[in-house]
Amino acid sequence: MSTTLKALISKFVITGIAALIAFYATSDFTWIIVVSLLGTTLNYLVGDLLVLPNFGNVLASIGDGSMAAITAYIVDLIAPAFDVTTSSLVLFGLLVAVGEYFFHIYLKRSKKVAP
């Protein structure tokens, strides 16, 4: 398994744990997985490939947390089985931002992970 794939799986696990903590009480588990997958994909494509190299870790982490919360909000508008509150969105965004901060440190240190 490639190092990049391992990094993406780790990113999905981080986002998934954050989503479980934030949304488990109010939402269907399937939709939590969907939000985790969408958040992981968007944060990798935008945050890790575009924002991180150009603006640094702090801005990329804040952007990733914000993008994850916005993604969850959009899924809430579309899927009746996925229900969020303002506090759960804020919690999700903060958890993702903190997780991404440390994940970005790993990405920067690892020369084997393809951008």
Q: 81 or 18: whose pLDDT is higher?
A: 18
Given its phi and psi angles, is residue 84 left (phi above 0), alpha (psi -120 to 50 degrees) or beta?
A: beta
Cβ pair 96, 39 in contact under 8 A: yes
Q: Looking at this protein, which amino acid is placed at residue 35?
A: V
Paired tokens of 6: 């391992």
**Alpha-carbon separation of residue 88 from 16, 80, 102, 105, 112 (angstroms):** 14, 16, 22, 26, 35
pLDDT for the residue 7: 87
Distance CA 33, CA 110 (A): 27
pLDDT digits (tens, 9 = 90+) for 41-80: 999 999 998 999 999 999 999 999 999 999 999 999 999 9
Question: pTM above 0.85?
Answer: yes
26: amino acid identity, one letter: T
